[in-house]
C-alpha cells in the first residue's frame, strides 16, 4: 500500500509478524480492544535510539494494530531503521517526507494516509517512549462511547514521571489557559496520546490545519468538541524520555499562546448539536446537555474508574 503523491513515499514489505505476547495489559482491557482497523501514527525526527523499542512494545501489546512511522528525513538514519522494521513486520508502514516540516504537518500527512487506506481508528503517539504502548487498549476501549479519546495526565489516575518542575508548571498552566480562553472542559487538551474515530478527522479539512506542537493538539480537540463530537479523557502514565532530545521549544509555547488567544477573540463559543458517527454498536445515552450553565460539560467525560497502568 503506497500513497500516490510526489513528495511522500511509503514502505510496506511482507514478512514475519512480531511477538504477540503482552503481560502488561489486564485481560479485561485486552478483550475490549476495537476489532476494526486501527493505525498508530508516530512522527519521527532523529529518534533512531527510541523507535525500535517503541515499535516492539506497541506490536507486542497490540498485535492487531498497525504502525505508521512518518519520518522527516532524519539525519540520524531513523528513516532507514523504520524501513528495516517494516521489512520484518507487515503491520509496520513508513511514510518518508522530504525534510523537517513540523509535528502538525507530519500528523496531517499520517492522518491523510490512514484515511486513504480505510482505517476506522487513528491514533497519535510519540516515538520517544513517553506514551506507554501498553496503555493503548485503554484508549481503544473508551471509543465504545466516544469519538475522540485523550490519554490525560491531569485527571485522577493520570501520572507524569521524571519531569522537571518547569515542564510540570508549563503543562498545567497551558491547560488552565486553554480551558479559560476557549471554554473547553478538558483537563489535558495539549496531550499527544489520543485515539480518533475516522469520522472526526474526515470532518476537518486537514490540509487547512496550520498549527503545530501543543497548539496542534489543542486545535484538533477544540474543533472536535465544537463540532459536537463526543470527547473523553482516560488516565495515562506519561514518562519523560530517557534518550534523545525533546522537541519542545519557546517557539512552540509562543505559538500556542497567541493562537489560542486569537481563537478566543475571534470565535464564538457556541457549541452545535452533537453529531452521530457511523458506529452502530449499542451505547449508553449520550450526554449532550444544551444547558451551558452546568458546571461540567458532560459531553466531555473523564474516566475515573481506570487506575494508571505502569509500563
pLDDT digits (tens, 9 = 90+) for 40-71: 999 999 999 999 999 999 999 999 999 999 99
Whether residue 248 is contained in a domain is answered as: yes
* CATH code assigned at 144: 3.90.550.10
Percentage of residues of the chain with pLDDT beyond 90 = 57
Whether residue 122 is contained in a domain is answered as: yes
Q: What would the mean pLDDT of 206-228 be, rounded to a whole number? A: 90
pLDDT at position 10 is 46
- Our count of domains for the chain comes to 1
Q: What would the mean pLDDT of 267-295 be, rounded to a whole number? A: 40
Q: Rounded distance, CA 276 to CA 285, Å? A: 12
Spatial strand order of the sheet with 148-152 comes to 9-11, 92-96, 66-71, 38-44, 121-124, 194-197, 148-152, 231-235, 300-302
Count how many Cα atoms sit within 13 Å of the Cα of residue 8 in the half-sphere of its side chain: 24
Q: Rounded distance, CA 75 to CA 64, Å? A: 31
pLDDT at position 79 is 98
Q: Rounded distance, CA 48 to CA 7, Å? A: 22
- CA-nearest of 265, 274, 263, 268 to 297 is 274
Whether residue 287 is contained in a domain is answered as: no
Whether residue 1 is contained in a domain is answered as: no
Whether residue 226 is contained in a domain is answered as: yes
Q: Rounded distance, CA 91 to CA 302, Å? A: 31
Q: What would the mean pLDDT of 264-289 be, rounded to a whole number? A: 48
Count how many Cα atoms sit within 13 Å of the Cα of residue 239 in the half-sphere of its side chain: 16
56 phi and psi angles, rounded to 5 deg: -60, -45
C-alpha cell at position 53: 523499542
Domain that holds residue 71: 34-270
Whether residue 26 is contained in a domain is answered as: no
Whether residue 7 is contained in a domain is answered as: no
Q: Rounded distance, CA 111 to CA 205, Å? A: 11
Between 307 and 268, the more confident residue is: 268
Residue 33 has pLDDT above 80, yes or no: no
CA–CA distances in Å: residue 191 to residues 3, 72, 73, 103, 281: 28, 22, 25, 13, 27
Q: Are 197 and 143 in contact (CB under 8 A)?
A: yes
* Segment of 17-21, 161-165, 218-222 carrying the highest mean pLDDT: 218-222
Q: What would the mean pLDDT of 248-275 be, rounded to a whole number? A: 71
Whether residue 258 is contained in a domain is answered as: yes
pLDDT at position 28 is 41
Residue 285 has pLDDT above 80, yes or no: no
Amino acid at each position: 500500500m503506497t500513497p500516490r503523491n510526489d513528495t511522500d513515499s511509503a514502505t510496506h514489505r511482507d514478512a514475519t509478524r512480531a511477538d504477540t505476547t503482552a503481560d502488561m495489559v489486564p485481560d479485561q482491557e485486552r478483550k475490549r480492544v476495537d476489532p476494526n482497523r486501527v493505525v498508530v501514527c508516530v512522527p519521527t525526527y532523529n529518534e533512531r535510539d527510541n523507535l525500535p523499542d517503541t515499535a516492539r512494545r506497541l506490536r507486542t501489546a497490540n498485535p492487531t494494530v498497525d504502525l505508521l512511522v512518518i519520518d522527516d528525513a532524519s539525519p540520524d538514519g531513523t528513516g532507514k531503521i523504520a524501513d528495516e522494521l517494516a521489512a520484518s513486520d507487515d503491520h509496520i508502514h513508513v511514510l518518508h517526507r522530504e525534510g523537517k516540516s513540523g509535528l502538525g504537518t507530519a500528523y496531517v500527512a499520517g492522518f491523510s494516509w490512514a484515511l486513504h487506506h480505510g482505517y476506522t481508528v487513528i491514533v497519535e503517539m510519540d516515538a520517544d517512549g513517553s506514551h506507554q504502548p501498553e496503555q493503548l487498549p485503554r484508549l481503544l476501549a473508551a471509543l465504545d462511547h466516544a469519538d475522540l479519546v485523550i490519554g490525560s495526565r491531569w485527571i485522577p489516575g493520570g501520572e507524569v514521571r521524571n519531569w522537571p518542575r518547569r515542564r510540570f508548571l508549563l503543562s498545567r498552566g497551558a491547560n488552565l489557559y486553554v480551558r479559560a480562553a476557549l471554554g473547553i472542559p478538558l483537563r489535558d487538551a495539549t496531550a499527544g496520546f489520543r485515539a480518533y474515530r475516522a469520522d472526526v478527522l474526515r470532518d476537518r479539512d486537514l490540509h487547512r490545519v496550520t498549527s503545530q506542537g501543543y497548539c496542534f493538539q489543542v486545535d484538533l480537540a477544540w474543533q472536535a468538541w465544537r463540532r459536537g463530537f463526543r470527547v473523553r479523557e482516560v488516565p495515562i502514565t506519561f514518562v519523560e524520555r530517557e534518550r534523545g532530545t525533546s522537541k519542545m521549544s519557546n517557539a512552540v509555547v509562543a505559538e500556542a499562546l497567541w493562537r489560542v488567544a486569537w481563537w478566543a477573540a475571534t470565535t464564538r463559543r457556541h457549541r452545535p448539536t452533537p453529531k452521530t458517527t457511523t458506529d452502530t454498536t449499542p451505547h449508553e445515552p449520550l450526554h449532550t446537555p444544551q444547558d451551558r450553565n452546568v458546571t461540567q460539560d458532560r459531553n466531555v467525560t473523564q474516566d475515573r474508574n481506570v487506575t494508571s497502568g505502569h509500563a
